Structure 1
Amino acid sequence: MTILASTGDQVASFVSALIWVYTILIIAYIFTSMYFNVGGRLPYSRWSRAILDFLRDVCEPYLSIFRRFIPPFGPLDLSPMIAILVLVVLGNVIVGLIPQ
């Protein structure tokens, strides 16, 4: 019996962790954009601008795919929820396809 995991297990764990981290980044982007839009930051604050810019640069390319097809319902934008659902489902499919 070996202590080391197989390469397939390691790749599956890495992909699973990557999907989880990206999901957390999308959720953080949603909450920070809501918080900052209602005036929850200091004016001319570099750290809040840096956080929001980083999250927008990381999350917006993926979310824009879904925003093309799913229109907002008034003030409610459902595209991040659909994007997270698709990300998790496709991530589970990809992890399931990796040979172990």
Structure 2
Amino acid sequence: MVTIISYIVTILARLINLYMILIMVYALLSWFPGAYSSTLGRWLAKIVEPYQSMFNFASFGMLSFAPVVAILVLYFIQMGIIYLGKLLIGI
């Protein structure tokens, strides 16, 4: 049972890491003109925009901190999952 819980926690933590990387790549696409209209940009927009749009309140003028807030929230969720996994395992 312990290995199943640790396996699930590890998979969830890695999936959250992957999603945070996708958010960072999507944010970096704004540095390149026309990158959002590329195939990669459209694909990332379908994956990242639904989550990131919840944090559009974090913008000042043309500067948006939505990716930063989205990554911070994911980080805290990831730490919570790891903590719960440790509690369940008994470490």
Provide the TM-score with structure 2 as the length reference. 0.82
Aligned residues: 86
2:47 match: secondary structure: helix
**1:62-81 matched pairs, under 5 angstroms:** 62-67=51-56, 69-70=57-58, 72-81=59-68
Match of 1:45 in 2: none
8 Å CA contact 1:12, 1:95 repeated in 2: yes
- Tell me which protein shows more strand as a share of its residues: 2
Match of 1:44 in 2: none
> C-alpha separation between the residues in 2 aligned to 1:93 and 1:58?
23
> What is the root-mean-square deviation of aligned Cα atoms in Å?
2.0
The percent identity for this pair of structures is 33
- AA matched with 2:72: L
- Tell me which protein shows more helix as a share of its residues: 2
- Quick one: structure 1 residues 10 and 31, their matched pair in 2 at CA, closer, same or farther if it must change by over 3 Å? same
- AA matched with 2:83: G
The runs of 5 or more residues in structure 1 that have no matched partner are: 42-47
Provide the TM-score with structure 1 as the length reference. 0.76
8 Å CA contact 2:52, 2:66 repeated in 1: yes
2:63 match: secondary structure: coil
Of the two structures, which has the highest relative contact order with CA contacts closer than 8 Å and spacing of 6 or more? 1
Q: Which has the larger radius of gyration?
A: 1
> C-alpha separation between the residues in 2 aligned to 1:40 and 1:56?
11
